[in-house]
Amino acid sequence: MQYEISKKWLDESFAVPRACEAFFAEAGECELRVLLFAAARGVFDAEEIVAELNLPESDVREALAFWRGAGLFSKTRTAEKKTPQKPKEEERVKIVSSRPTYSSLDLAAAVENSTEFKSLVDFAEKRLEKLFNRAELSILYSFVNFYEMPVDVVMLCIEACAKEGKKSLRYIEKLIIALADDGITAYEDADAYFARRAEYLSFEGKIRALCGFTSRALTAAEKKIITSWKDEYKYGEAEVQEAYEKTVNAIAKPSLTYMNKVLLTMREQPRDDGERGIKKTYDTQSRFEAAVKRTKKKRGEEKA
């Protein structure tokens, strides 16, 4: 059965560049929502998307990086005069081709004339376990030539992605653009950034394992919840595990939204010592791992 958009909707439609179709398989929920917002607006900034779509700022910046890496978005600068005495320039984004494509001669010259870039190519091919074709080499060269990222920072980014099992240059490009957008160009700053990222991914991975969300992508709202647990409320594994058990007992299935409500309620309840808030417990690692094992065992029994 075939479908088509209703004619009444076509009267008030907006255009999405056909080139986007090649990236639909790679794009996640957040990337697609940002794309539609961009196509409807034409020119916009990240803050508008965060506010109107209620998405985490980090997810929005990664989505912008994804489409910039695809060559769809680029930055433009428009003057914004909120006060006549001090005009302010604000960075905005528009849909337009971005990253250049380098010729074989350009790339050959880059490898021949720059020992740093040659060492980057050797390092990248080794860590990503592949020999680059011209298109891939062009993307790699854009990291240092177009995005103007130092070679040691690019290597750090490649190393971090390789450890995550993400060996696509387009995925790596998303992080390169995110670093550039945040003004992170020094090795020390980038190292701290990826240390924080590794901590978050580790925390997220344990929660995914506990809840059995290992085979599906988390939604933007779920990632926002986990980020708030780690960065805003500083929850540990024991608190999350306790919220998980209360959630399953209440609704018979894991739900990050329900767990978040449980945790917020726990923060307001009096503790045994008369104080309000969640009481910290010890040996959180073993409690969390035990909860994961119980969950896996229960699923195995249900399948049997």
The pLDDT tens digits of the residues spanning 61-92 come to: 888 888 887 777 877 654 443 444 444 445 55
Q: What is the pLDDT of residue 187?
A: 95
Q: Quick one: CATH architecture of 7-95?
A: Orthogonal Bundle (1.10)
> For 14-40, what is each residue's pLDDT tens digit?
778 877 777 777 778 888 888 888 888
Q: What is the pLDDT of residue 95?
A: 47
Residues, the chain, total?
A: 304
Taking 70 as the threshold, does the pLDDT of residue 287 lie above it?
Answer: no
Residue 207 to residue 23: CA distance in whole angstroms: 29
Domain ranges of the chain: 7-95, 104-185, 218-299
Q: What is the pLDDT of residue 12?
A: 66
Residue 299 to residue 277: CA distance in whole angstroms: 32
Q: What is the pLDDT of residue 11?
A: 63
101: confidence class by pLDDT, cuts 50, 70, 90: confident
Q: What is the pLDDT of residue 96?
A: 44
Taking 50 as the threshold, does the pLDDT of residue 277 lie above it?
Answer: yes
| Residue type, position 222, single letter | E
What is the torsional sign of CA 202, 205, 210, 211?
Answer: positive
| Spatial CB neighbours of 15, under 8 Å, sequence gap ≥ 6 | 39
Q: What is the pLDDT of residue 136?
A: 93
Q: What is the pLDDT of residue 38?
A: 85
Taking 60 as the threshold, does the pLDDT of residue 228 lie above it?
Answer: yes
Q: What is the pLDDT of residue 16?
A: 80
Per CATH, is 104-185 categorized as 3.30.420? no
Taking 80 as the threshold, does the pLDDT of residue 210 lie above it?
Answer: yes
- Give the predicted TM-score (pTM) of the model: 0.60
Taking 50 as the threshold, does the pLDDT of residue 93 lie above it?
Answer: yes
Q: Could you tell me which residue, 245 or 20, shows the higher pLDDT?
A: 245
| Spatial CB neighbours of 23, under 8 Å, sequence gap ≥ 6 | 31, 66, 67, 70
Q: What is the pLDDT of residue 293?
A: 65
Pick from 157, 160, 204, 213: nearest CA to 185: 157
For the chain, percent of residues with pLDDT exceeding 90 = 46
Q: Decide if 7-95 and 104-185 have a common fold.
A: yes
Long-range CB contacts for residues 280-283, cutoff 8 Å, separation at least 24: 280/236, 280/238, 281/236, 281/238, 283/238
Taking 80 as the threshold, does the pLDDT of residue 263 lie above it?
Answer: yes
Q: Could you tell me which residue, 75 or 100, shows the higher pLDDT?
A: 100
